[in-house]
Structure 1
């Protein structure tokens, strides 16, 4: 049933391993150097905050656009540019929600000390995800739901959370592993993650690794 994933591993396994290493370095050292070639002409340094901003930017958008924005704005730009400057850059790149995402970046900047505090407290990735996405949590990042929080955690080295986005849903539906859900509730998200985890375990992969292969199968690229 999953021959396509195994074929993808044979074809782009080296790029997936490199990406996972970049994620691990980001979580361990607080910064990393991303190289997206040959899938995208982009390579740059990222830190924890710029990666959080990347995950804010990709929601209802695309990884490619998020990468272009992250490369152009740079680590210092996310920390220092004004709301108007961020909005202008995002607009120039064609982001549909430029002003809204710029506002969220500024808000995240103001509370990032709490995010760092949370990441240091030793909680499980599932607990971290809930605290980053729960509206009642003091650690809530505006714009983060379960998917965005999972995305951020995966990109800083946590391997045991799933990014249940449109690519993953399509993959699971095509494999007839989940029904054709019309809306995504927390219950459906977690049920889908459980199914995906069983698939990953059967293939001898982490959720983080499987996600990158599924993304490749759906887009032809190994991004993040």
Structure 2
């Protein structure tokens, strides 16, 4: 089948979900993201910490860890944070603690960037250049979770569903070039469905996992 046919089949599946009870759950989730984006920089930074710990790890476990640590992301030393992450069962406690403590040094800069730039892609580039451990996926995830809905979060679940529908081929590494190419494909899908990219991600994630986390 051609790419256009494969895309149409995937779009039809998503449209069916949009006509189900899942739509209300996703709308509520999007509302919560936008509300978080209007909160103070400390709350926003804690969401960045969530996205850092969630990368390469289970999403639901990461939510539990975020709730357990809470304000600790704002003040715990690297060693104390690593111990906390280890005790809570995280796979990479030392690495993630290092990333978070280093990111904490940039909290005021982050506040200024979020206030200064309207273009989400500019902010994404800044995050990748200035926050260790943050690449395209983590930066896009964070920005979506604070209400910027115009970026694609391309993780293993999204790649799997696109491959299974014949929209993309298998590849070993998700390079910057590939990320942007896939983001453009997802933009086409979102335009046809009249969804923001951030909303589309939630539908695709639900299709692949049967869950809506964040």
Same fold (TM over 0.5): yes
Indicate conservation of the 8 Å contact 1:69/1:93, yes or no. Answer: yes
Higher helix fraction: Structure 1 or Structure 2? 2
Partner of 1:158: 148
Deviation at 1:70, TM superposition (A): 0.6
Indicate conservation of the 8 Å contact 1:8/1:216, yes or no. Answer: no
Indicate conservation of the 8 Å contact 1:129/1:146, yes or no. Answer: yes
Q: Distance in 1 between matches of 2:172 and 2:94?
A: 29
Q: Distance in 1 between matches of 2:88 and 2:161?
A: 29
Is 1:21 paired with 2:4? Answer: no
Partner of 2:3: none
Is 1:145 paired with 2:155? Answer: no
Partner of 2:189: 199
Selected match of 1:216 from 199, 202, 206: 206
Partner of 1:62: 58
Once the two structures are superposed, residues 97-151 of structure 1 have per-residue CA deviations (whole angstroms, 9 ceiling, x without a partner) of 00110111111111111111111112411111111113xxxxx111000111101
Q: Distance in 1 between matches of 2:210 and 2:33?
A: 20
> Matched residue pairs, number?
204
Once the two structures are superposed, residues 145-196 of structure 1 have per-residue CA deviations (whole angstroms, 9 ceiling, x without a partner) of 0111101110111111000111111121122222212211111000000001
Indicate conservation of the 8 Å contact 1:215/1:222, yes or no. Answer: yes
Deviation at 1:11, TM superposition (A): 2.9
Q: Distance in 2 between matches of 1:30 and 1:5?
A: 34
Which structure carries more relative contact order (alpha carbon 8 Å, separation 6+)? 2
Deviation at 1:4, TM superposition (A): 2.6
Q: Distance in 1 between matches of 2:102 and 2:186?
A: 33
Q: Secondary structure at the match of 1:29?
A: coil
RMSD over aligned Cα atoms: 1.5
Instruction: State TM-score, norm by structure 2.
Output: 0.90
Gaps of 5+ in 1: 32-45, 135-139
- What does 1:23-62 correspond to in 2, within 5 Å? 23-30=33-40, 47-62=43-58
Superposed structure 1 runs of 4+ greater than 6 Å apart: none
Selected match of 1:3 from 6, 9, 12: 12
Q: Distance in 2 between matches of 1:96 and 1:20?
A: 29
Higher strand fraction: Structure 1 or Structure 2? 1
- What does 1:103-122 correspond to in 2, within 5 Å? 103-122=98-117
Is 1:182 paired with 2:166? Answer: no
Once the two structures are superposed, residues 70-94 of structure 1 have per-residue CA deviations (whole angstroms, 9 ceiling, x without a partner) of 10011x2111122222112211221
Q: Distance in 1 between matches of 2:198 and 2:77?
A: 34
Q: Secondary structure at the match of 2:21?
A: helix
Instruction: State TM-score, norm by structure 1.
Output: 0.87
